[in-house]
Amino acid sequence: MNFRVDAVLVGGLSLVLSSAAADLRIGMIGLDTSHVVAFTSLLNEPGHKNHVPGGRVVAAFKGGSPDLESSAGRVDGYTRQLEERFGVVIVPTLEALCARVDAVMLESVDGRPHLAQARPVLEAGKPLFIDKPVAGSLRDAVQIYRLARERRVPVFSSSAYRFYESLQKVKRADVGAVRAVISYGPAHLEPHHPDLFWYGVHPAEALFAILGTGCETVVRVATPNTDVVTGTWSSGRVGTLVGLRGGPAPHQVTVFGTKGVAEQQGSGDYAPLVREIMKFFESRVAPVSPDETLELFAFMEAADESKRRGGTPVNVPSLLRAAASSGTP
């Protein structure tokens, strides 16, 4: 009887070890955002109430931007947490990171270095998730996806907002044909990035989660505390982003359809996004297409261009074509 118990225990231990061995080895680039701790906790701690199985963060490249206080002031603290709490190995180069892992999360809070940081990952053929913003400019975003296409490496980028269950419920609501969408939320500015790339990307992502591709023109009204950006989509659909600063900045999406209206109720957390990232790493199929992500960033860059032009409409496809032809990686 003791032998049978021992055999069961050994068998169970073998299954646990086998399961652990099958986990994808995940690397992180850029330890200057709270996302690195939150995502690693979801993946590496089986006791977490929202644990996401299938992968573990095992190595990371510190990164950091010395001219960005929100990066330079936080990178050392988050690095220590990954080392001490989760046992993550900090490596000196991106090439060393790629040699240790099966897939990569690019987490640098600053979008400007994303193109340079993505390049060695794509050259190594590792599936790559890029946290928001995908890059520091539309041109860099286009080049990242061009590199990924040329090397046949899957890339996926998204804000967590897109996968909040509260937003997915709105998306599933039977409102008939969608006529208009209003998305409002925080839009704090950072001088090194186009205005909406830094935080307005969240309500912008929610807008595109409902409307998808097909945005044709963008007009922006800007004041110090508020942005109103209106996009006209194909078939006459209208999407409006209201970016809020300098006071309460809740986020919500309202969808107006031919049969009814749906309003987002409540917020969400990071777990649905991390689940989508793991599905992406395992399947190598992105849940958000490159076309949609690039159009989303063209929408935001068009908002800046409309502001520069005094609020006149900007053609989004033309802006995308210009970014695509402005240089090669």
Containing structural domain, residue 48: 2-158
| Tokens read off for 19 | 């399961």
Residues 302 and 179 in one domain: yes
In a domain, 182, yes or no: yes
Average pLDDT over residues 217-228: 97
In a domain, 277, yes or no: no
User: Which domain-ending residue is among 117, 133, 158?
Assistant: 158
Q: How far is CA 255 from CA 159, 266, 272, in A?
A: 19, 15, 22
Assess whether pLDDT exceeds 50 at residue 1.
no
- 97: domain CATH number is 3.40.50.720
In eight-state DSSP terms, residue 274 is H
pLDDT in tens, 237-295: 999 999 999 888 899 999 999 999 999 999 999 999 999 999 999 999 999 999 999 99
In a domain, 280, yes or no: no
How many domains would you assign to the chain?
2
- Edge-to-edge strand list for the sheet holding 128-131: 89-91, 55-61, 24-29, 103-106, 128-131, 155-158
pLDDT in tens, 152-203: 999 999 999 999 999 999 999 999 999 999 999 999 999 999 999 999 999 9
Rounded to 5°, the CA angle 218-203-231 comes to: 15
Residues 75 and 199 in one domain: no
Residues 46 and 171 in one domain: no
- 304: domain CATH number is 3.30.360.10
Rounded Cα–Cα distance for residues 280 and 286 (Å): 6
Exposed (0-12), middle (13-18) or buried (19+): which is 285, by Cβ within 10 Å?
exposed
Residues 151 and 196 in one domain: no
pTM: 0.91
Q: Answer yes or no: are the C-beta atoms of 232 and 188 closer than 8 Å.
A: no
Assess whether pLDDT exceeds 70 at residue 309.
yes
Residues 199 and 317 in one domain: yes
- Edge-to-edge strand list for the sheet holding 226-233: 261-263, 252-257, 178-186, 238-244, 226-233, 215-222, 314-315
Residues 221 and 237 in one domain: yes
In a domain, 202, yes or no: yes
Residues 184 and 304 in one domain: yes
